[in-house]
Structure 1
Amino acid sequence: MTGRTASTALMPLVEALPLLLRGVAPVAATGLPPAEAIGRVAAEDIRADADRPVTRIALRDGWAVRGAEVVGASPYAPVPLAGPPVWVEAGCALPAGTDTILTAEAIEKSGPLVEIVADAPTGDGTRAPAGDLAAGGRLVAAGTRIGPLQALALAGLERVPVCLPRVGILLTGPARWGGSDARSSVLRHLVGQAGGCVSAVATAPEGRDAIAAALAADEADLTLVVGGTGFGREDHSAAALAQAGSLAAHGIALRPGEGAGFGDAQGRPVLLLPGAPEAMLAVFLALARPLLQALAGEAAAPARTAPLRRKVSSVIGLSEIVFVAEAGDGVEPLGSAELALHRLLLARGAILVPPEREGYPEGTSVEIMPL
């Protein structure tokens, strides 16, 4: 990518993002087994299909009794029984007519004589019907992520409706940055974090026609073109997108990532990501992640904030992505454009500095975009 500075030729990020998201709707719902739905976005409210438990169950091993019949039982005032009560293991249903679990020591036997020598409140050691979940109760709200703990509540369902955008990754452009497999692996992880899944990774030969043909053949809900997005003689991705469909923008006032662009091919969105690692990540955070979240129908969640442990300086006129490392209870800025790989490896997130600011002073609480 050739070097560029802020100018009217670059589309401001505050204009680019709404244009990118215009008309974007969540993809059609698909059903996944509960275990595979973890980390995905619920396509609709997911509700319990039955009471759980259906009947009263024991929460611990012990003797099942009727609580009202053992009130006041003690070694000094034992309650005699005609025979021993039923022993119940934790998790099992209580026998009919019982509602309380006594410990093993609560029963004493002397020949044929059985006595209860300790009481417990009615219901002690048990869970009532629907005590875990009530039929029809909402387990996961539409537009929210299904977490690993929520999978415990979904275990009884065969399929869970989720919005799962399919993302195609097309690697192209001159092999200046190396590590195509590494970049696709990083993007696969970030796509999953944003609620999508990578359906295919392909490498297109250099040249406008070859890239355009690959774009026309891709059937994903979103295609990420990596490399060849700049303004140099060997950068053909933008022209290829214009040939395969339409190019809505090329050149975003984003540092790093000025060579980013987007449009559509075959009616599906296409986003152009620069090949340089730090620029690829910056454009993904600023543009691809919001687009994926819109395709997944994910509701906005509160962002994590943390104080800066050192001031950040930025260029007026450009939105700037600054990568940060964890530093105690705050974050340490690492740098932005042309960030050396050994520094980028320390990044655990990034912050966005708007174009009207020259940066942030030390101690400022900033929103963190996770990596």
Structure 2
Amino acid sequence: MPLAEAVAELAALASPVAAEDVSPPAAVGAVSARDVVATTGLPTLRTALRDGWAVSAAAVVGASPYAPLRLARAPAWVEAGAPLPAGTDALLPPEAIGADPLEIEAEAAAGEGTRAPAAELPQGARLVAAGERVSALHCLALASAGLPWVSVRRPRLRLLAAEPDTLSPVLHAWIAARGGLAETAPRPAEAADLAAALLRPGADAVVVIGGTGPGRTDRGAEALARAGRLHAHGIALRPGESAGFGAVAGLPVLLLPGRPDAALAAWLALGRPLLAGLAGAAPEPPQMLPLTRKVTSVIGLAELVFLRRTPAGAEPLGGAEIPLHRLGQADAALLVPPAHEGYPAGTPVEVLPL
């Protein structure tokens, strides 16, 4: 199956999961289920941005060390973050007042050193958009707005892996970084037992690692066909040709090859869109980098190339059958469309950060 068709079919199986309310710190990394807006404008009063003397700007016009102005009453000292006293609208620095607290030796523009009411968080301002991944800075704004809960979608994936298992820890980390939760369970060797494992409830999607090739002990596709429906087995993707997918009890199942380069390539090409669909994530802006060396590809197959980002751009490390000592250096990937034979050095390409 062509990769674009596979991604579209798999996305159709991935309905957004139910939303849950969590605290802002717990929401970091997850996808917001709805827009979050500030319900009240903050601050409610004009507030000091730094320590200083609170004055009315109009009352100190023209003041300087050579021509100090004498006030009828000494200005109030205000700490950063505190509201200004009534009748004041600006802050003077500490050195603006000399030995005589009534003599002002500096002037200030109206609003200087202060935050106007509702200027920090205007009422109705959107703090997080639906489909946006909640960041630590979002968390800062949410906490400042006094919002104790955020509604997020956090898909739960079950990874079925046989021993020795070296791939599920990588997928765990990648899934967590994109707002999902993952658990690993043993992958049974027999088709009937694997089919039963696919039917076990408690996950929003199941990922089977290994057992997708033509080997005599490979039972992934057979088990999926028994337990539900096998939509595709064999994707026009290099590496990752033996990947497949389908559905069991209405939930998506992704079959990944067992070889590291093929498994990770299939996850990046198919698993990441699946996870985004389950989370209801909005499309992310592309990240473009120039290639430091040319990339060649085979017409008719989508090809995933692992990259290392450098100050000069994206350095190709290899794709199919890349050895582990090079794969371990990758921090991004490039998906070459099937209609391309590759790209010359210097070409700006869209990279997928790992």
Normalising by structure 2, we get a TM-score of 0.94
Q: In 1, Cα distance between the equivalents of 2:168 and 2:331?
A: 18
Task: Give the RMSD, CA atoms, in angstroms.
Answer: 1.7
Superposition deviation, residue 23 in structure 1: 4.8
Q: Which residue of 2 aligns with 1:307?
A: 290
For each residue in 1:313-368, what CA deviation from the matched residue of structure 2 results, as whole angstroms up to 9, or x when unmatched? Answer: 22232211111122432222222111111111111111112223332222222211
* 1:1-371 pair list within 5 angstroms: 11-110=1-100, 114-155=102-143, 156-172=146-162, 175=163, 178=164, 180=165, 182-198=166-182, 200-371=183-354
Q: In 2, Cα distance between the equivalents of 1:75 and 1:313?
A: 71
Percent of pairs with identical residues:
55
- Evaluate the alpha carbon distance shift between residue 309 and residue 78 of structure 1 in structure 2; reply closer, same or farther with a 3 A threshold: closer
For each residue in 1:274-310, what CA deviation from the matched residue of structure 2 results, as whole angstroms up to 9, or x when unmatched? Answer: 1111111100111010111111111112211222222
- Evaluate the alpha carbon distance shift between residue 278 and residue 79 of structure 1 in structure 2; reply closer, same or farther with a 3 A threshold: same
For each residue in 1:242-279, what CA deviation from the matched residue of structure 2 results, as whole angstroms up to 9, or x when unmatched? Answer: 12211111111111111111111121111011111111
Superposition deviation, residue 76 in structure 1: 4.2
The residue identity in structure 1 corresponding to 2:244 is: G
The residue identity in structure 1 corresponding to 2:299 is: I
Q: In 2, Cα distance between the equivalents of 1:129 and 1:327?
A: 45
For each residue in 1:172-213, what CA deviation from the matched residue of structure 2 results, as whole angstroms up to 9, or x when unmatched? Answer: 3xx5xx4x1x42221012112333222x21113311122112
The residue identity in structure 2 corresponding to 1:139 is: L
Q: In 1, Cα distance between the equivalents of 2:340 and 2:95?
A: 71
Q: In 1, Cα distance between the equivalents of 2:207 and 2:51?
A: 56
SS of the equivalent of 2:141 reads helix
For each residue in 1:6-52, what CA deviation from the matched residue of structure 2 results, as whole angstroms up to 9, or x when unmatched? Answer: xxxxx121221111112533222211211121222221111012111
For each residue in 1:50-71, what CA deviation from the matched residue of structure 2 results, as whole angstroms up to 9, or x when unmatched? Answer: 1111111111111112222222
The residue identity in structure 1 corresponding to 2:186 is: T
Superposition deviation, residue 147 in structure 1: 2.1
Deviates more, 1:21-30 or 1:182-191: 21-30
Q: Is the 8 A contact 2:191 2:220 kept in 1?
A: yes
Q: In 1, Cα distance between the equivalents of 2:123 and 2:204?
A: 35
Instruction: Structure 2 unaligned segments of length 5 or more: list them.
Output: none
Q: In 1, Cα distance between the equivalents of 2:109 and 2:155?
A: 52
- Evaluate the alpha carbon distance shift between residue 83 and residue 17 of structure 1 in structure 2; reply closer, same or farther with a 3 A threshold: same
Q: In 1, Cα distance between the equivalents of 2:311 and 2:66?
A: 59
Instruction: Structure 1 unaligned segments of length 5 or more: list them.
Output: 1-10
Deviates more, 1:20-29 or 1:271-280: 20-29
Normalising by structure 1, we get a TM-score of 0.90
- Evaluate the alpha carbon distance shift between residue 366 and residue 76 of structure 1 in structure 2; reply closer, same or farther with a 3 A threshold: closer
The residue identity in structure 2 corresponding to 1:207 is: E
Superposition deviation, residue 129 in structure 1: 0.6
SS of the equivalent of 2:131 reads coil
The residue identity in structure 2 corresponding to 1:134 is: P
Q: In 1, Cα distance between the equivalents of 2:109 and 2:310?
A: 51
Q: In 1, Cα distance between the equivalents of 2:214 and 2:189?
A: 15
Q: In 2, Cα distance between the equivalents of 1:106 and 1:328?
A: 47
Q: Is the 8 A contact 2:16 2:280 kept in 1?
A: yes
SS of the equivalent of 2:98 reads strand
Q: Is the 8 A contact 2:90 2:109 kept in 1?
A: yes
Q: Is the 8 A contact 1:168 1:218 kept in 2?
A: no
